Amino acid sequence: MPQKHDRSYRLLFSHPRMVEDLLSGFLGIARPPGTLERRNEIYISDRLEKREQDLVWRLRGPRGAPVLYLLLEFQSRKDPEMSLRSSVYAGLLKQDLLKSREIKRKEKLPPVLAVVLYNGWRSWPDLGEGYRLIDMRRDPLPTEEGNLVVLLCQLERSRTPKAIAAPVEKLARLLAGPEDADLRRAFLTYLKYSLLPARFPTAPIPAILDLEEVKPMLRETVKGWTREWLEEGKKEGLKEGLREGRKEGRREGEVRLLVRMLELKFGPLSSRDRERIDATDSDRLLEWGDRILTARSLGEVFGN
């Protein structure tokens, strides 16, 4: 799943509009119209070692000369060697600029800005210098209206179907024009193959053809889960959900239903998890049951 997430980010930020919103909203760099260009990302070192940077963009000034090179790295997991990697990539890029004569040797090399877009669940530790970190889940969001990267951050922070639907509706409006058809499809790919499977791992994702179909799909998915869990409860002889199982005489049924729901979503429980469930009270069982719908792991259900 992390590889799919990183690839979907690469697809999204292959579009100039995403990079424009990243520059203006998160990096404080105003971009003159028509001066942002995608650059080749493959470099060969003197030892013939092949290196591939996630994405490289070139920003030209008013007179057409390059004024900045932007190196984008996409990470779903912490990388303790990121500082070293960024320095190596920046050095290889500068070397390639001179070899290709994109920059003449007597000219001053423009700055190279390495940016890491991180979307992992755990906080990114201080791993050194040499790059700018943008934590998609935790950094304060700019108030820039219509910024697509802000909407991407909101999707990354979403935990419920309702929280996903709101930014998707905005994306559908902002990308309604024919000139944004490719970027619209890129967001749809990100939702279908990255975000939705990560948020709802046990739910079948139907063939969504456009962004407008995401909201009704989420609504039907929630209904389907509700029906499935009720049917499983009936099979176990439990006709009432966790919310109605507060009386002590029904506690055994609460435990059985919760275990069944957890195993449907996450697989067989360990003996330690079973003991933890058996030892808790009805209110806590109800709280854990409420978390199952949006949790990605047992740790999130239990509040670890």
Dihedrals phi, psi of 59, to nearest 5 degrees = -110, 120
- Give the C-alpha separation, 123 to 110, whole Å: 32
Winning range, highest mean pLDDT, from 18-27, 63-72, 243-252? 18-27
Instruction: Give tens-digit pLDDT for 100-144.
Output: 888 888 888 889 999 999 998 888 887 678 899 999 999 999 998
Helix, strand, coil percentages for the chain (3-state, nearest 5): 50, 10, 35
Mean pLDDT of 226-230: 50
Instruction: Give tens-digit pLDDT for 10-33.
Output: 999 999 999 999 999 999 987 666
The encoded tokens of residue 215 equal 């909201």
* pLDDT of the residue at 50: 52
Burial of 207 (0-12, 13-18, 19+ CB in 10 A): exposed
CB atoms under 10 Å from CB of 67, counted, come to: 16
Burial of 258 (0-12, 13-18, 19+ CB in 10 A): buried
Percent residues over pLDDT 90 in the chain = 30
Cα distances from 213 to residues 140, 152, 228, 261, in angstroms, run 30, 18, 22, 27
pTM score, two decimals? 0.71
Instruction: Give tens-digit pLDDT for 173-198.
Output: 999 999 999 999 999 999 988 888 88
- Give the C-alpha separation, 182 to 11, whole Å: 10
